[in-house]
Chains A and B, each alone.
Chain A
């Protein structure tokens, strides 16, 4: 029987009359890495904040480890490491003091020195006061705080925000390592390539509503296909004009087609002009994401 670490049912959050999220349904299995995609204002942070009981839902249910996030929030959060998207820390503390304090305030699956190991991996100087740290280094403090207790569930809101590419890579390695030891990961990101690289499943939220939840490979495979076909005789410009087929580019050797339906008809038409080569061009998650959003829709950062 599948064990769900996160269960969200018909979850809605309204800020007065302004929509935060509406009727969000989501289940994340134990051991999964789930990527949450959407532009600013789509509802990613709101959903994660409801799970952490930072804000309360207007309607619907949210559970972690089978416990209601509001009524049994303390027990639910006991096994969670959290990195908020808008991270703000106690500036007057040294990073090491902050970690000791943070460690002392929660249940831990590890020893009190694990934060040092994480800090070393992220090349973070913990002897400096937080106010003296750059934005990237503050983000590292947040990452260490999220991971330091080896939680059973990690909820990360844009964990690599503000980090340089090398450190981003290290954070992704930490995510994968944590997952290999059984930690479920629910993280949102704007960097689609990192979600594609590490996530088992991905959910896309648009204007507060879930528009897709699929395995990453299914999503990139099913939405549309792109074929590069070279011909012995170039077909006329309107040869592939039909429902669900779009000609992207054309040169002397062949055409690049984006095919949503009528694949069979496309192959038959292409064959009539003598196919010399055919290649499937992989579709990236970014392209899928943009396909869901369209230009300028659903947020201001798409």
Chain B
């Protein structure tokens, strides 16, 4: 199982480095450019009243607000894209490409294959966030003296690593859909819709009182992308809910992959349970 895990990580090595480098630019630019725009940002309240910014939960009042709105709010969305690509690619993608047949035919139980792929996906997501957190922290240390903030470099590190549960939940949902849907494209489409609806739904429902009751349905409701994250840390209940979602999705992936006819590409209910008469 360890060998399979190492192999799965090896498959992801280039993707982890590539995504980490690509994602690093965004928080590095936002954090690094803050001293240049600090004065202008104070006069942007009018812009932030626009519905699109409200829907995205933006607030630029302080450095902490700026950091939460531009980094903590956006990075998990981008890492979630990787989670969807990897989550649907590792079972459904490999099945479609014909690579999974050789692995399934090895004397390895299917639950081990799914477990190893889930662990590798979780580690890949964590490593991407860690690399992004390290570079963001380095940029922060470079501008720290020019910014009025009580934040420590560890707050920035933790702030980004706290987003791991939500991207893990997205990754596991994608993994499950890869084991459930007939095609990777279908699984990726459903996963992407879940992410987009969840992100905008969470922010919109927090703005509209009549939608408040459905807020708990959205995954991003459980991600604190406000300055309060740096003061109190994430809510333990939010983290537990996101990890529970990830766990349930993983268990469903195990169940459906266990029953899946590899290479066939069919919805579970299309599987014949008896010979037609």
Residues of A within 8 A of B (CB): 12-17, 22, 49, 52-56, 58-59, 73-75, 77-78, 80, 82, 84, 86-90, 92, 101-102, 104-107, 145
Contact = CB atoms under 8 A, between A and B. Distances in A.
Contacts of A89: 99, 102
6 contacts: A15-B270, A22-B275, A58-B275, A59-B274, A82-B105, A105-B108
B104 A52 contact: yes
B4 interface: yes
Contact of B107 (A14, A75, A84, A90): A75
Contacts of B275: 12, 14, 22, 58-59
Contact of B106 (A49, A56, A106): A106
Contacts of B271: 16, 56
Given A55-B263, A86-B101, A101-B7, A17 B272 contact: yes
Contacts of B272: 13-17, 58
B262 A106 contact: no
Interface residues of B, number: 30
B261 interface: yes
B263 A54 contact: yes
Contacts of B276: 14, 17
B189 interface: no
B17 interface: no
A197 to B, nearest CB: 27
Contacts of A104: 3
B98 interface: yes
Best-surrounded residue of B105, B107, B264 (most CB of chain A within 10 A)? B105
A16 B7 CA distance: 35
Specify the main secondary structure of chain B where it touches its partner. Answer: loop
Contact of B108 (A74, A101, A145): A74
B274 A56 contact: no
Interface string B83-107: 0000000000000011101111111
Contact of B105 (A12, A54, A75): A54
B152 interface: no
A87 B98 contact: yes
Contact of A88 (B98, B107, B273): B98
Contact of B262 (A54, A77, A88): A54
Contacts of A102: 102, 106
Interface string B235-277: 0000000000000000000000001011110100011111110
B11 interface: yes
B263 A90 contact: no
A73 B112 CA distance: 13
B109 interface: yes
Nearest to A54: B262
B264 to A, nearest CB: 6
A262 B102 CA distance: 52
A13 B263 CA distance: 14
A104 B109 CA distance: 15
A205 to B, nearest CB: 17
Given A14-B272, A90-B99, 7 more contacts: A53-B105, A54-B263, A55-B262, A78-B107, A89-B102, A92-B14, A105-B4
Contacts of A106: 106-107
Given A56-B259, A58-B274, A59-B275, A84 B106 contact: no
B105 A55 contact: no
| A-B CB proximity, top 3 nearest | A88-B98, A14-B272, A55-B261
Contacts of A52: 104-105
A78 B108 CA distance: 9
A90 B100 CA distance: 10
B65 to A, nearest CB: 43
A52 B263 CA distance: 12
A74 B109 contact: yes
Contacts of B3: 101, 104-105
B263 A49 contact: yes
A207 B148 CA distance: 77
B106 A55 contact: no
Contacts of B104: 52-54
Nearest to B2: A104
Contacts of A88: 97-99, 101-102
A77 B109 CA distance: 10
A149 to B, nearest CB: 10
Nearest to A104: B3
Contacts of B106: 77, 102, 105-106
